[in-house]
Chain A
Amino acid sequence: MTDQSSQAEIVRNSLKRRYRKERRFRLYGILAIFIALTSLFTLFADIISKGYTGFVKTTITLDVNLDSEMMYLDDPTDADQRSMADFVAPVIAALQEHIPEADSATEKRELGRFLGTYAASEVSELLAKNPELLNTTQTIEFPAHDRVSVYVKHADNPRYSIKLSEQQQRWVDELLEKGVIDTSFNDVLFSRGDSREPANAGVLGAIVGSVLTMLVTLVISFPVGIAAAVYLEEFAPQNKITDFIEVNINNLAAVPSIIFGLLGLAVFIGLFGMPRSVPVVGGLVLALMTLPTIIISSRAAIKSVPPSIREAAEGVGASKMQVVLHHVVPLAMPGMLTGSIIGMAQALGETAPLLLIGMVAFIVDVPNGFFDSATVLPVQIYLWASSSEQGFVELASAAIMVLLTFMISMNALAIWLRKRLERRW
């Protein structure tokens, strides 16, 4: 073998090795992308698989004989009498008609537990509103108890533990066959506030709370953010003060969100004595948090307006302020809007600072105004995720889907706006 051929041999061998390395390196890259995408899809699949049942409710529909003797009630308009009356008895009697074998007192009581604890008050309210229904037979739809609901929806899912005895399971099966127990679209989810019982809990309160909070955030952070960006880009002299402001804005954008909660707690609640857990304080805190995002993106938008436009306006005699307000800001507006929408989407999903200012309180009523106690969607998800009742897990997942729908549509709006209004100079 000559020297040359051995050289070539070495090169050929090393080339093989190097190409192998090259392929391996590419594989690592694909693997990394694969891992990231898989985790994203797992996350979505997990939440959808957990949560789609949250959009389904289990109901028990009964023909209830509102017998006055059985309830010990003569006059449904009398609040005192209503508070003493037994509204469960007729409901149990109606259930028993479908399950005649359950005739002992304990069995009857067990039957009664199929219904949520609010069944009695449902009957009571119905009678208080329509006293003439006393001693008639009415078809009433009750939400089923969490345990029944879990059994109906998840009987063959090992993640859920069935908390019904075998006899009760038989009864539920029987009622399902007869159509007494039925599942339908969960309209409660979108028409009520929070509740201690999964069957009665909805996200409407949290959605309204989120909307109110976001309104406050928007009203404060959007004009202030734009004004700040305009000042820094167009008017600020190059000096230490504006440098300091700039550094500050960049740093604020990276401050952990929970620190903003501390600020809100100490300043808005501690110093100014504002009430806890209201949309105004939540909105203020989130506004301070989103402000840097809006300022940074608005500055980028202003920067992209070509100087020729400014010069042309100045050339025909516009003052600096007129140049900015009549020409630069309108042209930069699409960019500012996209940045603000993205900032608002972030604020919509924020939880930690709102925990500190008390928006975790258990609130049943749908808030009516900016100073009403309220909770927001992400906090509601947090509350439900840490609840012990099994039914809340699927509700939390369903609420996550609602939240993600809002966020994705906001982001889509931002992308659409950018595509639609973007212009090149």
Chain B
Amino acid sequence: MQTANLLPLVLVLAVVAYGLAYMRSRAVAAPLGGIRNLKALPFYYAARAALWCAIPALIVLAAWAGFEGKVIQGIVIASLPQDTWPESAGRASLILSQISNVAAGKLNPEFVPEHIAGAASLLEALESKSQNFKAILVILIAILGATFAWTRVAPHINARKNVEATLRRIFFLCAALAVLTTAGIVFSVILETVRFFGRVPITEFLFGTTWSPQTALRADQVGSDGAFGVIPLFTGTLLISAIALLVAVPVGLLSAIYLSEYASKRMRSTVKPILEMLAGIPTVVYGFFAALTVAPFIRDLAQIVGLEASSQSALAAGLVMGIMIVPFVSSLSDDVINAVPQTMRDGSLALGATQSETMKKVIFPAALPGIIGGILLAASRAIGETMIVVMAAGLAANLTANPLDSVTTVTVQIATLLVGDQEFDSAKTLSAFALGMLLFIVTLLLNVVALKIVRKYREQYD
């Protein structure tokens, strides 16, 4: 039975267990003179039965479904004749996909070597066996669990305590999922990164000035050794982020100041949500806009002025990204400007300062740390943004500070290296994980610092 069908079945069983336990608890209570003589409401006995039925079964199901594929693949590979054992992980995945194609009927078994056809039938047999075992095991566990809980429906047992303790544990696990996710990110990225540094020295990665991840497919191929110097990617990323911040910081900051200090209530309540719409537009839409409208426009403009501009330019990506992060800067600045106490404004105005002088000389310095925190958060957004740069900034790893050139960024390289089919074993694929690690560390540092600054500042006037 398919996992997708087993899941609702387990839920149905849990509902049945709920119903049975509910009825039994009422039956147990009846001779005692009503449910008030039970230690817990019938609902709790029933809920406990449902939990006993569903949770162990679901755990087994998840574990089985998670590792089924890997185990079967291992057995199938091991069953191949010794002389045809794949020598690398890449070969193994090729052979496996061939085998599964034969098993799925996409490939005629007559056209493949005999051992592959044999392995395919083994794969089919194992898969159906595993399906059956899994279904039987899961259903058995569900029924056993339900029966166990059913036998423990008795007036002296406080089912509410059990149920509440279990629920609490489930709630805790849900909260811990965030930690698990972070651990998963760090674990998966580190693992591949370490493998990558086994092939490419870390010094070359950090200080190399050429990036060309094409590695040779055959050993005798010429001129595609692969160079993994991250500096051009980093300068590209910084160039685009700098352009983006040059747009976003003045626009965001000045509009926040205007909206919080000068604008009428009505204007504020219409303009602010419209500005915030900018943050809700999917990045692929910005990418489309940057690649198909802004980049050609900039190229034509540069031609009129007499400059050479590439059709994919850092400027186009940076400008559009700047527009995207305006609301991040403006709403965070708005928050901190509003947090500055009114007494400071009144004091300054009472001394005869104009509103703009109050803003520039009193409120802005007071709000500065918070604003810097907001800018750092926006910068981390810009560094991690993918779609705009994938679509508008290009793939050429140029080491340049000219915004009219095409540059590439860390995120673009991660995306292009991993899109499509890839071997999990080549330095080319692994380098994407090393880049991911770098990106993760940089954005994490920026975020931690920014959140610290913002939080510390916010407490000042409270």
Spell out A's residues near B (CB within 8 Å): 18-19, 21-22, 25-26, 28-33, 35-37, 39-40, 43, 46-47, 50, 223-225, 227-228, 230-232, 235-236, 242, 244-245, 248-252, 254-263, 265-267, 270-274, 288, 291-292, 295, 319-321, 345-346, 348-352, 355-356, 358, 360, 369-371, 378-379, 381-382, 385-386, 393, 396-397, 400, 403-404, 407, 411
Taking chain A's interface residues, is the majority helix, strand, or loop, or is none over half, making it mixed? helix
Are B283 and A381 touching (Cβ within 8 A)?
A: no
Q: Kindly state the separation between the CA atoms of A196 and B243 in the bound complex, as whole angstroms.
A: 37
Please give the number of chain B residues whose Cβ is less than 8 angstroms from any Cβ of chain A in the complex: 92
Q: A245-B178, A291-B178 are in contact. Are A25 and B359 (CB under 8 A)?
A: yes
4 nearest interchain CB pairs? A256-B384, A29-B258, A349-B282, A273-B69
Cα A236 to Cα B173 in complex, Å, equals: 12
Let me know if B285 and A381 touch, CB within 8 A: yes
CA distance A358 to B258 in the complex (A): 45
B68: nearest chain-A partner, CB-CB: A273
Sample of 22 A–B contacts (CB below 8 Å): A21-B357, A22-B354, A31-B254, A40-B277, A46-B289, A248-B178, A255-B444, A257-B384, A259-B384, A259-B439, A262-B418, A263-B188, A273-B73, A288-B177, A319-B160, A321-B167, A349-B282, A351-B386, A356-B414, A360-B419, A369-B4, A381-B288
Chain B residues with CB under 8 Å of A18's CB are 354, 357
Q: Using Cβ atoms and an 8 Å threshold, which residues of chain A touch B197?
A: none
Expressed in whole angstroms, the Cα–Cα distance for A108 and B70 within the complex equals 57
Provide the residues of chain A in CB contact with B207, threshold 8 Å. none
Asked if residues A36 and B385 are in contact (CB atoms below 8 Å), the reply is: no
Instruction: Assess whether B288 is in contact with A295, with CB atoms less than 8 Å apart.
Output: no
| Contact B291 A258, beta carbon cutoff 8 Å | no
CB distance from A272 to the nearest CB of B (A): 5
- Beyond contacts A258-B386, A258-B439, A385-B292: 7 other A-B pairs, Cβ-Cβ < 8 A, are A22-B356, A43-B281, A50-B292, A235-B168, A242-B175, A249-B178, A259-B185
- C-alpha spacing A39/B297, complex, angstroms: 14
- Of B188, B354, B356, B411, the contact of A258 (CB 8 Å cutoff): B411
Q: Are B356 and A227 in contact (CB under 8 A)?
A: no
Query: Which partner residue on chain A sits nearest B259 by CB separation?
Result: A33
B interface residues with partner A (beta carbon < 8 Å): 4, 65-70, 73, 160, 164, 167-168, 170-172, 174-179, 181-182, 184-185, 188-189, 191-192, 250-255, 257-259, 262, 271, 274-275, 277-278, 280-289, 291-293, 323, 326, 330, 354-357, 359-360, 377, 380, 383-387, 390-391, 411, 414-415, 418-420, 424, 432-433, 436, 439-440, 443-444, 447-448, 451
With A249-B178, A350-B282 already in contact, the answer to whether A255 and B323 are too (CB < 8 A) is no
Q: Inside 8 A of A411's CB, which chain B residues have their CB?
A: 280
A262 and B436 within 8 A (CB):
yes
Smallest beta-carbon distance A115→chain B, Å: 28
Q: Is the Cβ of A32 less than 8 Å from the Cβ of B255?
A: yes
Specify which of A21, A232, A370 is in contact with B356 (CB 8 Å cutoff): A21
The answer to whether A385 and B291 touch (CB under 8 A), given A19-B354, A31-B254, A254-B443, is yes
